[in-house]
Amino acid sequence: MGKRHQHHRSVTKKLKTVTRKTGHTVSKLGKVEQEFGEGFEKGGKIVMKVGGGMELVGTGLTFVGLGAVGVPLATVGAEAQAIGFEEVAVGQSMQVMGSLLEEGGDTLATMSKNKKNVKASHAKYLDATRASYSGNVPDWAIKDNKLSHSKKHIVLVDKNSNDIHLSFKGTNPTHLPDLISDGHILLGNETSNARFREANETYKDVKEKYPDRQIHLSGHSLGATISNHVYNSNCGDNLSMVGFNQGSNPIIDANRRNDECSSGKVVQYTQLADPISMGVFVKKNQKVIVLPTKRGNDPHTLDNFSVA
């Protein structure tokens, strides 16, 4: 084994150790922040109750003619309630942030346990995603030429199971509409973009043609984001989805956590070094699998993914 290869393995091992330890630390910090948040919230509620009592007594004293005492007391009580309300809000925010930190830390801690390759059970999702770029149909499938589009998506029919694989193509840097769609992802207004609306209509066309088939969604980069959009727009349809380096805006994705389908049939593959797909780490109901970037590759390229 060459020295360069040994050095690469050593660096990878150290990175995994650091990642695991960092994850555990972040998770613990999240739990602590949640505990502090609970304390703030409880304290704020007590202050609000005390302030409410003071205001009530002050109002009563004012009513019976003791305004010199009652008015200041009522004022202090009202201010105490306001402070208590702010404490409750701060406490609740701390709990939310603590929960996000704990989840993120747990994700980091488990990264070192992931395999180096795409699972065999997800091989057809990867094949379909590659086919969306190349147009080359894998041996296990038949292409639906009428529903497929060379620049946007491919529809494959599994010869054995009759399941349908709908895979959306990622960004072509020379295709302006793709770049515009990427901009909509960054701004968080995908629903106003024609590519996303068309994708949902494409899914409906596929479902209409194959009403009794299991439909699987997939895609890479922009394609994974479109696939995820279709999945979350049709929560009741028993879909499954596998994404590869999904394009994202982490801040926007964090705010959308509660809008995800709760079925948990989404798997997101990514590389830790890929800044474009960092948003997958804040997903709530989606499993994230981190694979290593192959030597010499761009961390965002689909070429990093293989089954074996």
CA distance 17 to 30: 20
Render pLDDT for 226-252 as a digit per residue (tens, 0 to 9): 999 999 999 989 899 999 999 998 888
pTM: 0.67
CA distance 244 to 140: 21
Binned at pLDDT 50, 70 and 90, residue 49 comes out as confident
Greater confidence (260 vs 144) lies with 144
Q: Is the pLDDT of residue 256 over 70?
A: yes
Q: Is the pLDDT of residue 283 over 80?
A: yes
CB 45 within 8 A of CB 84: yes
Lowest-confidence pick of 3-7, 132-136, 143-147, 279-283: 3-7
Q: Is the pLDDT of residue 298 over 60?
A: yes
Greater confidence (249 vs 162) lies with 162
CA distance 152 to 36: 48
Report which DSSP code applies to 137: P
- Residue of 85, 77, 84 whose CA lies nearest to 57: 77
What are the boundaries of each domain within the chain? Answer: 3-113, 120-304
In this prediction, residue 32 carries a pLDDT of: 66
DSSP states of 60-81: HHHHTT-HHHHHHHHHHHHHHH
In this prediction, residue 158 carries a pLDDT of: 98
Render pLDDT for 88-117 as a digit per residue (tens, 0 to 9): 777 776 676 666 666 666 666 655 455 689
Helix (H) / strand (E) containing 59: helix 3-63
CA distance 149 to 17: 44
Greater confidence (54 vs 251) lies with 251
Greater confidence (216 vs 261) lies with 216
Kindly state which CATH superfamily the domain 120-304 is placed in: Alpha/Beta hydrolase fold, catalytic domain (3.40.50.1820)
Binned at pLDDT 50, 70 and 90, residue 13 comes out as low
Binned at pLDDT 50, 70 and 90, residue 140 comes out as very high
Q: Is the pLDDT of residue 281 over 80?
A: yes
Strands 153-158 and 141-143: antiparallel
- Residue of 34, 30, 31 whose CA lies nearest to 95: 34
